[in-house]
A and B are shown apart, each in its own frame.
Chain A
Amino acid sequence: MRGRPTFLNGYYWGLIALLYLPIAILFLFSINANTSLSFPLRGLTLDWYQKLFEADAVLRAARNSLLVAAGSSSAATLLGAMIAVLATRYQFRFKGLLIMLAILPLIVPFVVMGVALLLLFSALHIDRSLWTVGVAHTVVALPYTLLIIVARLAGFDANLEEAAMDLGADYPTTIRRIVLPIIAPAAVSAWLTAFTVSFDEFALALFLAGTEPTFPVYLFSQLRFANRLPIMIALAVLLMIGTLTLVFLAERIRRVE
């Protein structure tokens, strides 16, 4: 069973090569001197990275995405933790319903979710903005945060809390001193997962973004203008490095548990 060259081995590495090829190509075009995104390459340059820091609209879109992702992942983690505590520590009649409601956004197609929220906001005369994108992202990130935190809480004995209360702690203190420390590592990993979900999300944002675009929405609007693409790709490469760092952090924290 060692790593001698077998069909399976070759298949794995072949697919890995195919999966990484587009990423490699993006990287190449981010340091290619020619404006047009076509082969052959015209020589190396770091111009695009330099120009990036003068491109206000691009940076603004990236900043918007950071704001939306940070806000929505915080809310989704908080809500996910609340439902997770209810799901693992309480018995009540509408428990199944609550959990189902929280998981269901994973199943509803994004295009349906997008137009349904668009209808709601239009009916209430709420202008589309980063806020509308953000609250939509909390709903679609909730299943992830809930599942991650439930998995953590289910692994701990509820008797820990009983013990704390027998020793005289009131319930809020028990939550603060026992439940929150148990949740903490899972909450960090849930937050990072929700962050990456929001940051890359396009299908909902296209319906719900107003005049301020998130990065994917801005990127989409610029795809037509070939001469601006190298700058976008340069930013994308930087963002990709950022996302990967976050994902690795999330995995690390989850493993440490």
Chain B
Amino acid sequence: MFDRRATFWALSLPPLLWLGVLFVIPLLLMAAFSTRAESGGELLRLWAPSLKHYDDLFTTGTYWRLLRLSALIALVIAAMATVMAYPLAYFLAFRAGRRAGFYLVLLLVPFWTSYLLRVMALKLMLGSNGVINAFLIYASLITEPLTLFLYNRAAVVITLIYVWIPFAALPILAALQRIDLSLFEAAADLGATPFRQFWRVTLPLSLPGVLAAFFMVFIPTVGEYVTPLLVGGSQGLMYGNIIQDFFTKAANWPLGSALSMIMLLSTLLLVAIAVRLVDLRKLIE
């Protein structure tokens, strides 16, 4: 079957080439570049590999602290978004009835609108002459606008939780919909109170969805740099922001590459753990 074999190569070579040049090589280049001591000059030039930048990273402490802090921020955001999304998924799975499909679309529409603009709109609400302050002044609760809502770490956390909630509801919903309804009847027949039924039947069975939701928010949030740029101010910076700084303003690409490598490796490690805990293939089905 020569035809089939020729088609095989025609189908496999372009994607392999594309991913090789635009995905694998850039990451390898980044890995190589992180071992270059000096930052100036022609990029494609041989250099004596050095681990100077990694050494700096481990000894300076600032970067580590920021990485730990970013992981912590992402943890809080992922946990909060998952917890807040659970009742939504539960409502859609068991209480929304025939209109569940419409309710789901309604929930997802904001997720499909421009991210930058949603964040900007949030700024209009949280800012010093924003909706919340205008309301508080109008209600005579305060006389001067409060500035604690914007340009700090809390603003980053609030914004990202807000942005992720609809997304986090999806895997939980998928897990809830797979539960065999007769299990609820069985639990009720055996005299379980609704609370006990939830605690002993529903929650354990939906746990894979909960974990998936957690990781699906956590993983992209650790590497986040845009939201801190928009609402974080100087207090709300995350690890992604220093990477961005080293490739733009500070123009120290080798050090930036080393920082990116750390970010990439920790993300991959995290995904490896997540895949162990949750069978992702089940959720894609």
CA distance A169 to B207 in the complex (A): 49
B 83-127 to A, binary, CB cutoff 8 A, 1 in contact else 0: 010011011101111000001011101101111111011101100
Closest Cβ neighbor of A111 among chain B residues: B240
- A113, A116, A122 — which one has the most chain B CB atoms within 10 A of its CB? A116
CA distance A115 to B25 in the complex (A): 12
A18 within 8 A of B: yes
Q: Please classify the interface of chain B as helix (H, G, I), strand (E, B), loop, or mixed, using the class held by over half of its residues.
A: helix
A86 neighbours in B (Cβ, 8 Å):
8, 11-12, 15
CA distance A58 to B14 in the complex (A): 36
B256 neighbours in A (Cβ, 8 Å):
115
A68 neighbours in B (Cβ, 8 Å):
none
Whether the pair A2, B97 counts as a contact (CB closer than 8 A) is yes
Closest Cβ neighbor of B90 among chain A residues: A8
A49 within 8 A of B: no
CA distance A202 to B117 in the complex (A): 11
B6 neighbours in A (Cβ, 8 Å):
171
Tell me, rounded to whole Å, the shortest Cβ–Cβ distance linking B149 to chain A.
14
Select which of B16, B30, B117, B165 is within 8 A of A115 by beta carbon.
B30
A223 neighbours in B (Cβ, 8 Å):
120, 230
Closest Cβ neighbor of B3 among chain A residues: A171
Closest Cβ neighbor of B84 among chain A residues: A15
Whether the pair A120, B260 counts as a contact (CB closer than 8 A) is no
Interface size bucket, A side? 35 or more
B30 neighbours in A (Cβ, 8 Å):
112, 115-116, 119
B14 neighbours in A (Cβ, 8 Å):
79, 82
Given contacts A21-B125, A37-B124, contact A112 B243 (CB under 8 A): yes
Residues of B within 8 A of A (CB): 1, 3-4, 6-8, 11-12, 14-16, 18-19, 22-27, 29-30, 33, 43-44, 84, 87-88, 90-92, 94-97, 103, 105-107, 109-110, 112-118, 120-122, 124-125, 129-131, 134, 162, 165-166, 219-220, 222-223, 225-226, 230, 240, 243-244, 247, 253, 256-257, 260, 263-264, 267-268, 271, 284
25 contacts between A and B (CB under 8 A): A9-B95, A19-B110, A23-B118, A25-B131, A37-B124, A38-B134, A39-B134, A79-B15, A98-B12, A109-B222, A111-B225, A111-B243, A112-B243, A112-B264, A112-B267, A116-B26, A120-B22, A123-B43, A170-B3, A172-B3, A200-B115, A202-B115, A202-B116, A203-B226, A216-B116
